[in-house]
Structure 1
Amino acid sequence: MKMIICLAALIAVALAAPLDEPNVATVLRYDNDNVGVEGYKYGFDTSDGISRDEQGELVDVGTDEESIQVRGSFSYTGPDGVIYNVVYTAGKDGFVPVGEHIPKA
């Protein structure tokens, strides 16, 4: 019986131990220009090294081919400690990313 009580107490202590806090990033910069007419622009930087900037605009306005064309970039630090940068466009030709780490077709 003493063994069960000791085991239960040990389990209770282990479960009550504080868990490590996950890495929580804070926003260092946030810009947003989105009035909902003809396009948008936004960007942010976080304390964990993530950065993103993007802008989009309507093209071929008033035609059957009207669409939005997007240009942007983002960067982050990978698990290997390397900073990865990606520049991209998105629109009629689909999503087209460019980065040193992205294989070429």
Structure 2
Amino acid sequence: MKSFIVFALIVAAAVAAPANPDGDAQIIKYESDNIGLDGYGFEVETSNGIKTREEGQLQNVGSENEALAVRGEFSYVGNDGQLYSVSYTAGVNGFEASGAHIPKGNE
């Protein structure tokens, strides 16, 4: 019974611990450029090291093949202290992401 109580206390402490030990992250950079049908772009950086950038443009406007083409990237520091970076594209061929930690197609 004593070990169960200790285990329950450890679980309770883990659940109650904040996910971000530095407290709430603050937005330190925000840029947005929405130029309507000509496209959009944005960039965000937070105080906890998260960065993201994306841009998109509508292609084949007004046609049967109208589609949004997007490309971007984001990065963050994982719980292991390592920086993870992902680049991606999305469009008529679907979503494709790449990063050093993401397995390739045949792996």
- Category of TM-score, reference length = shorter chain: 0.7 to 0.9
Q: Report sequence identity in percent.
A: 45
Instruction: State the SS of the aligned residue for 2:25.
Output: coil
Runs (5+) with no aligned partner, structure 1? 1-18
TM-score, L = length of structure 1: 0.76
Structure with greater Cα Rg: 1
Residue 69 (str. 1) matches residue 66 (str. 2): no
CA deviations on 1:31-84 (whole Å, 9 max, x unpaired) are 001133231000110000000000000111221000100000000011111000
Over the aligned positions, Cα root-mean-square deviation in angstroms equals: 1.6
Runs of 4+ in 1 over 6 A off after TM superposition: none
Tell me the matched-pair count.
87
Task: Within 5 Å, give how 1:17-56 maps onto structure 2.
Answer: 23-56=23-56
Q: Distance in 1 between matches of 2:66 and 2:37?
A: 14
TM-score of the two chains, using structure 2 as the length reference: 0.75
Comparing 69-78 with 56-65, greater Cα deviation is found at: 56-65
Report the 3-state secondary structure (helix = DSSP H, G, I; strand = E; otherwise coil) of the residue aligned with 1:37. Answer: helix
| Distance in 2 of aligned mates of 1:67 and 1:38 | 12
